[in-house]
């Protein structure tokens, strides 16, 4: 993973008259070369933080400074347009990231296993189909850092196996920040941890320590 810095990062929402804090003046440098598990209880703001890191959501104050190339939050279909077909979305993504359109379309069509639906508007897709397409599109582009939100849980056993295999292959040369409820996946793909709680985030060099702190919070 290329270095990522949080500088005075602040983000909150108003929910039913109450201010919910996701990041409270966060200052932290994430070390290079680590794949990080982003842990925290439901509603802590892990997915929101991934979107801020990706640049698809603006913070209230402060900024995230990232070196190297970074994926959109894999597993979130917000980057894709409902009225375009799967193939058209993939071509659009290819142009944005400056990769060969035909190569990316061919990779995603084979990987996602959507059949004729690949050439139908995404509004007709189930959530599982959308996840297959977005995961395939992100894996078809080489990023320095992959932002991953509960993604290798999609599809039947064979598809999950294929997803884990391609993700493991990408991790040989890249790193990730991963949000998942599966500690098995955390241990498989990550080598350090972050715990997000009440707007504060702590970095743990020792992944098992991060998991222990996370599980103690949930208990």
Does the pLDDT value for residue 151 go beyond 70? no
Structure tokens at 19: 């201010």
pLDDT of residue 212: 96
Measured between its terminal Cα atoms, the distance across the chain in Å is: 31
Mean pLDDT of 73-100: 88
Look at residue 77 in the predicted model and tell me its pLDDT.
61
pTM, entire model: 0.87
Q: Which of 129, 126, 151 is nearest to 138 (CA)?
A: 151
- Mean pLDDT along residues 63-75: 86
Residue with tokens 């004729």: 116
CB contact set of 156 (below 8 Å; sequence gap of 6+): none
Tally the residues of the chain.
Answer: 219
Burial 106-128 (b: 16+ CB within 10 A, else e): ebbbebbbbeebbeeebeebeee
Burial (0-12, 13-18, 19+ Cβ within 10 Å), 218: exposed
**pLDDT score for 76:** 61
The DSSP symbol for 112 reads H
> 9 Cβ partners below 8 Å, 6+ apart?
23, 25, 26, 27, 52, 59, 61, 62, 63, 64
Retrieve residue 22's tokens: 């996701």
- Mean pLDDT, residues 120-124 taken together: 96
67, pLDDT greater than 60:
yes
């Amino acid at each position: 993973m290329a270095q990522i810095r949080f500088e005075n990062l602040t983000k909150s929402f108003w929910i039913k008259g109450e201010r919910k804090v996701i990041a409270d003046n966060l200052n932290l440098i994430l070390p290079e070369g680590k794949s990080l598990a982003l842990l925290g209880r439901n509603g802590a703001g892990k997915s929101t933080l991934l979107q801020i890191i990706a640049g698809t959501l603006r913070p209230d104050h402060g900024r995230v400074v990232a070196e190297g190339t970074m994926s959109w939050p894999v597993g979130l279909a917000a980057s894709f347009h409902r009225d375009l077909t799967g193939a058209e979305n993939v071509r659009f993504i290819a142009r944005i990231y400056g990769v060969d359109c035909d190569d990316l379309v061919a990779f995603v069509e084979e990987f996602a296993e959507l059949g004729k639906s690949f050439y139908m508007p995404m509004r007709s897709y189930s959530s599982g189909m959308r996840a297959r397409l977005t995961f395939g599109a992100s894996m078809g582009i080489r990023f320095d850092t992959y932002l991953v939100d509960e993604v290798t849980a999609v599809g039947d056993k064979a598809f999950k196996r294929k997803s884990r295999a391609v993700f493991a292959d990408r991790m040989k040369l890249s790193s990730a920040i991963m949000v998942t409820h599966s500690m098995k996946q955390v241990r498989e793909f990550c080598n350090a941890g972050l715990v997000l709680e009440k707007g504060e985030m702590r970095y743990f060099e020792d992944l098992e320590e991060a998991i222990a702190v996370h599980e103690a919070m949930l208990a």
